[in-house]
Structure formats: structure tokens, C-alpha cells
Amino acid sequence: MNFTSLEYAFFLLIVFFLFYALPQRYQWKLLFFSSIVFYMISVPQYIFIPIFIGIVSFSAGILMEKARELQSKKVILIISLMANLGILAFFKYVNFLTTSFFKIFHFIQSYSTHTDTFSGDPILLKLLVPLGISYITFQAVGYTIEIYRGNHPAEKHFGLFITYLMFFPKLLSGPIERAHHFLPQLREKKVFDYALSSEGLKLIVWGLVKKLVIADTLAKRTELIFQNPDHYAGAPLIFGAMLFSIQLYADFSGYTDIAIGSANVLGFKLMKNFDFPFIAKSTTEFWRRWHISLSSWCFEYIYNPIAIAKRDWDKWAVVYASIVTFVLLGLWHGPHWKFVVFGLFEGTILSVEFLTRKQRKTLGSVLPEAVNNGMGVVITFFLFSFASIFFNAANLSEAITFIKHLFLFTGHDGRISSLSVAFKGRDIVMAIFWVFFLFAVEYGDRNFDLKSFFPRQPLLFRWVIYYAAIILIIMLGVSEQSQFIYFKF
């Protein structure tokens, strides 16, 4: 069910009224039932998968808590991780691994025999990736690891645990909630909180503006470039890559705003997932501000254990942990080599920043602070825009084609190198306008706290702004039922 659809609006409205009408003992049951229905509307045949993940993780938590020996706990943890991650790997990566093995075998056979007589195709399974399986699995894995570490007690209520894993606002694309933050909220009696619900509705409206008006409007410009990279050179490709990085942010953070807003109207608070990433002065800082729930999850459960295990390598432990973590993070986005390269690029940039931190600090002390910060923001943005080429290209081959033509500033073989020829003047102006509009609102929220600013304004002023936002969505929002980019991950 798409968050931008009327069906979701009616679904949330029905759940909202029933939730606050029910006694406390039935509230979590409604959320459990609603989340199951929400999931089954999309792929009813796969409902057993999140339930199975829940059974494995719930049982592992209780067994680890009861186990007296550390070795027993470790065995239980490993079995649960193998079961949960095995399901994730099967549905997301089995065809990728099969195809890659087939190509490697073909290459070795051709190289060793100096012939190309191998025929046949890899056997591929026709699998539909279950909705939200990455987010459900990551929450389950994080939960079991924390139980193993002894950081919080095991959950004894299976219904509450499944509701935590499948809570419908965060089901499809996060945030990746931690059990110790969300489970206690399910036990609280929820009474209607006007301030929290009002904040939630504002977040939903702003999320819809980000998605339908800004992201989808920019998508019309970026698709033109990314679908035909061989037709362009220089300026149009640079413009397209920069525009896509902002489109991706508007799209994903728009989803997050709707998810957090939906939880707010039901009395729940989800963790922040974005913190103005485009003001980051380094790639390291950028990943502390972008998809925070995933970045922090990877830091705690992948990067940290690797860095500690390899601490004898001194500074190279950090480099190794950074590259491995980001290659895995890239691969998490999809079973394609382009995502592996995306992760490798980001991990390399982080490693270079770590290895040169003293030199950069020395250089920064010489330059005026405004110049140093400004350069950091610009360089970070351009590096992420470059990396986003791998993210958005159809495949690795097209990403390489895109990059080859990126620095060609003269037309060749009919390629368009002029920005004004590739785009209509109106398209350029509108794209730039929406980018500035997005940043202006987010700058205002960051520096003037718009959430608390608006309630202090006269009623007429507030409702003019609210209706203007709604009219903006209706009049300028892209009408096609486009999916959020991160739904496919």
C-alpha cells in the first residue's frame, strides 16, 4: 500500500479512530492486526516469512536469557542469525550469487581452454522479495545481539514482539527501530495527544510535498539523463547526477516523514532518520546524518565488531572495517555489482578521510572557518552525487558509460553537451526552484524550529500555510502512483 495513495489515508484514519476508542488492553492487538492486514494487502502469500523471523528471534531471546553458559548463548545466537540472515540472503541474493558464479565459471573455462564453447544459462528462481524483509530482519538481528550482550531483557510477549517487528508505518522502509526504544511504548496506555498528533499530521503533509511535488518533479528531469547516458556529455550529466542526489533525499526523507508522522498520530515516537545531511562537511559526517537508523545499525553490528577484532592492525583496522561495512551496506541495497561499487567508493572515501584527518585539520586551521566549512560541504555533496551515479544507473555498465561521458564537455557522435539543449529553460528553473524551496524549509526548521514556531502564530496564518501545502500537493504533485525509491530495498 503506497503511502501517497488515498487507500493509505483511509487505512490510517480507520486505525486512528479505532485505536483511541479501544481500551488499552486491545490497542496493541489492533496494531498487530492492522500491521498484518497492511502486509497482506501487498503480498499475502509471504506473511509467513516475517512471522517465522519473529518466532526464531523471540525464541532465541528467551533461550539465551535462560542459558547459563556463554557458549550455549553463542550457539543460540549463531543459529538465529543463520536462520534470519539466511532467509534474507535467499530472497535477495540467490539469483545474484547464481549468476555471478556462472559468469566466473564461464570466464575460467574460457581462459583455461582458450575457447568460448560454454553454453547454457544459470538457473534463476522467480522470487518476489518480501516487503520490508531487510528492515524486519535487521530489527530481529539487532534484538538478538542485544539480548546476547545482556543489554536488555528478552521480550516475553510474542504478540508485542511481532507488532514491534511489523508496525506498519515503519514496515516497508524503516526507520530500523531498536527494541528497547519501541517495545516499552507498546505497553503504555495511549491517549489522544493533540500536540503529538498535530505534529504528526504536519510531518505527513511535508513528507507528501517532498515526495509528490519535489522528488517526483525532479525525477522527470533525472530519468531523462539516466535512461540515456550515451546521448549526453558534460553539463547535462553533471546536472543530472547532482539533481538525483537531492531527488533521492527528498524521496527517502519524505517517506520517513510520513512514517514518523503516521506513528505520531497513533501516539508513538520513531527515531530520527535524517539530520540535514547536505550540510555535512565530510563524508564521515554525512553518513551520521543520512539514513541514521541504518548507519548506526551497521556501525554497532558490523563496523565495531570488525574494528575491535582487527585492533592489532592499528589504523588499518579502521580502514578495513570501513570498506567491509560499506561494501556490505552497498550490497544491502540490491543484488547488483553497481551497489558493490557504490559501497566500495563510499568506504574508500571514509578511509581516506580517516587517514588524512591530521592534514585536513592543519589545512582547516589556515583557512577562514567559513571557507573551510563551505569547501567541505561542497566537496561532500559532489562526492555523494558522484556515488549516486552507481546507485541510480540501470547497471554497472551504464554507470561506467555515464562516468566516461561526465567529463566530456564537447559534443561527440551526436551527444548533447549543452545544458540548455538537454533541458528546456523552464525545466532548469523549476528544478532549481524546488531544490532551493526544499533547502529553505529545512534550513528554517533547523534554525528556527518551525514545529514550535507555527503553533505560536495566529490561527489564520497557520491555516493559510496548511491549505497552501495541501493545494500544492493537489495541483503540482505528480499524479502517477510512483513508488518510493527505497521500497525496493
What distance in Å separates the CA atoms of residue 70 and residue 219, rounded to the nearest whole number? 52
Name the pTM for this structure: 0.89
To the nearest 10 degrees (0 to 180), the angle between helices 179-187 and 133-149 is: 100
Count how many residues are written for the chain. Answer: 489
pLDDT at 119: 52
To the nearest 10 degrees (0 to 180), the angle between helices 24-42 and 6-21 is: 160
CA 247-205-178 angle, to 5 degrees, is 75
Q: Which three cell numbers stand for residue 17?
A: 479512530
Residue 74 and residue 177 in contact, taking contact as beta carbons nearer than 8 Å: no
Write the CA distances from 275 to 173, 237, 332, 338, integer angstroms: 17, 28, 22, 26
Residue 282 and residue 376 in contact, taking contact as beta carbons nearer than 8 Å: yes
- Determine how many CB atoms are found less than 10 A away from the CB of residue 456: 7
The HSE-up count of residue 339 (CA atoms within 13 Å, CB side) is: 13
What distance in Å separates the CA atoms of residue 403 and residue 22, rounded to the nearest whole number? 57
pLDDT at 68: 86
To the nearest 10 degrees (0 to 180), the angle between helices 235-265 and 396-406 is: 130
pLDDT at 245: 95
At 232, is the secondary structure helix, strand, or coil? Answer: strand
Query: Which residues lie closer than 8 Å to 418 by C-beta, 6 or more apart?
Result: 235, 236, 411
Q: Can the peptide bond before residue 175 be classed as cis, meaning omega within 30 degrees of 0? A: yes
pLDDT at 103: 60
Q: Which of 348, 351, 319, 346 is nearest to 330 (CA)?
A: 346
- Determine how many CB atoms are found less than 10 A away from the CB of residue 88: 21
pLDDT at 100: 61
Annotate 422-485 with DSSP letters as a single string.
Answer: HS-HHHHHHHHHHHHHHHHHHHHHHHH-HHHHGGGS-HHHHHHHHHHHHHHHHHHS--S-PPPG
The HSE-up count of residue 146 (CA atoms within 13 Å, CB side) is: 19
Helix (H) or strand (E) holding 371: helix 369-392
What distance in Å separates the CA atoms of residue 145 and residue 74, rounded to the nearest whole number? 10
Could you report the average pLDDT of every consecutive run of 10 residues in the chain (489 residues)? Answer: 86 95 92 94 85 95 92 94 91 69 59 55 61 90 95 94 95 88 92 91 91 89 86 86 94 93 95 93 95 94 94 93 94 87 95 91 85 92 95 89 83 70 80 90 80 73 76 68 62
Write the CA distances from 482 to 38, 66, 153, 217, 431, integer angstroms: 18, 48, 41, 11, 19
In this structure, which amino acid lies at residue 338?
A: K
Residue 423 and residue 222 in contact, taking contact as beta carbons nearer than 8 Å: no
Query: Which residues lie closer than 8 Å to 125 by C-beta, 6 or more apart?
Result: 94, 95
What distance in Å separates the CA atoms of residue 327 and residue 394, rounded to the nearest whole number? 19
Q: Which three cell numbers stand for residue 408?
A: 566530456
Write the CA distances from 146 to 77, 137, 155, 334, integer angstroms: 10, 14, 12, 26
What distance in Å separates the CA atoms of residue 170 and residue 3, rounded to the nearest whole number? 11
Residue with cell 543463520: 82
Annotate 321-342 with DSSP letters as a single string.
Answer: HHHHHHHHHHHHT-SSHHHHHH
What distance in Å separates the CA atoms of residue 83 and residue 446, rounded to the nearest whole number? 42
